[in-house]
A and B are shown apart, each in its own frame.
Chain A
Amino acid sequence: MSDATTVLLVLSVGTFALKSAGPLLLGGRELPARIQRAVDLIPAALLAALAASATLVNVSTLVVDARVVGLVVAAVALWRRAPFVVVIVLAAVATALTRVVI
């Protein structure tokens, strides 16, 4: 069984447990406020880490390459409220052009 399939199995079961705990077990009680506040912040940390890693890392080393340009362009596009498709296309085009030019 490949690594991907193992992750798939573990993540599927774990995720379903998280999703169904409320409807199947808890009937209306709320998470303690402190825990809820921490949970609210987790995606920000992880997504930012993943964005940075996907941009600046090549196999465990930090590398600055054309992807950085793509990310900056994506950030500008998001700031200007462009639709997601436009953000992706602009990022890709910017990166490709950077490779042609530099």
Chain B
Amino acid sequence: MGHNLGVTSDGSNTVDPGPEVDLIAVRRRLRRQAASITAAVAPFGIVFGAAAATAGLSLLEAIGFSIFVFGGSSQFAAVEILGDGGSVPAAAIAGLLLNVRSLAFGIVMAPALTGGLLQRAAMSQLMIDESTAVGTATADRRARMYGYLAAGIGVFVVWNATTVLGHVVFSSAGDLIETLGLDAAGPAAFLALLWPRLVDVAQRTTAMVGALVALVLIPVTPPGVAILLSCSGVLVGLRVRKRADASKPHEEGV
């Protein structure tokens, strides 16, 4: 697919329409990809649990986010805004904006996710960067659902387990957080989520404008609103992309 998704980017794209024995090899490779992607989310889950605790969420609320929302950056955003005293709409909208790409993932994965309505609905809950990345890493449609589920279920289990761990360990941390410099963990986590996306000038420009807009508006707007207004950076990014595409007439956009 060529998209740079979420935490990791999966560069492998193979066409494998061969006989049955190839399916076994394909599935093994997909399991390996799913395993490394799953391991990569563990530290993020711990940081989320800790961030939720710092923002004043109960363990049950933190778990609720990781089970029912199940979207890394949107969970971080919602919790951050709530912790800053932001309004419910601001936190919810920021979270939803960060999950809009799930719609695109669902459209891409839809042909591979077969079964009855309930089965497709259940599988849809696992629609995240990582499951889509592994699910699209092979052109073999039979293997796509397998890869999607391997990554999706793996990440779901690890994400929730580490959420609990992070929350339990840090819920009574208090001053310890500043002494250990852990209040830099949130900023570092956002930066780490942002970093793989900065692949071209349009993304980088969008990020810079978004950050500047937010910083300028934060002192004069209710908590959370400035974060939402950072999306105005998208308009600048679209301009930049248009100009970049115009100067490269033979480049195919994905």
Q: A-side interface residues toward B, CB under 8 Å?
A: 2-8, 10-12, 14-16, 18-24, 26-31, 33, 36-57, 59-62, 66-67, 69-71, 74-75, 78, 84-85, 87-88, 91-99
Contacts and interface: CB of A to CB of B under 8 A. Distances in A.
Interface residues on B, range: 35 or more
Contacts of B124: 16, 19-20, 22-24
B130 to A, nearest CB: 13
Contacts of B92: 6-7, 10-11, 14
Contacts of B238: 37-38, 41
B241 A37 contact: yes
Contacts, number: 309
B160 to A, nearest CB: 14
Contacts of B74: 11, 15
Chain A interface helix/strand/loop/mixed: helix
Nearest to B56: A4
B226 A5 contact: no
Given A8-B61, A42-B97, A45-B233, A50 B107 contact: no
Given A2-B61, A46-B230, 16 more contacts: A6-B88, A8-B65, A11-B78, A11-B96, A14-B95, A41-B237, A47-B194, A47-B197, A49-B227, A50-B77, A51-B211, A53-B84, A54-B186, A67-B183, A74-B184, A84-B192
B156 interface: no
Interface of B: 3, 7, 40, 43-44, 47, 55-58, 61, 64-65, 68-71, 73-74, 76-80, 82, 84-85, 87-88, 91-92, 94-111, 113, 117, 120-121, 123-125, 127, 178-195, 197-198, 202-204, 206-215, 218-219, 223, 226-227, 230-234, 237-238, 241, 253
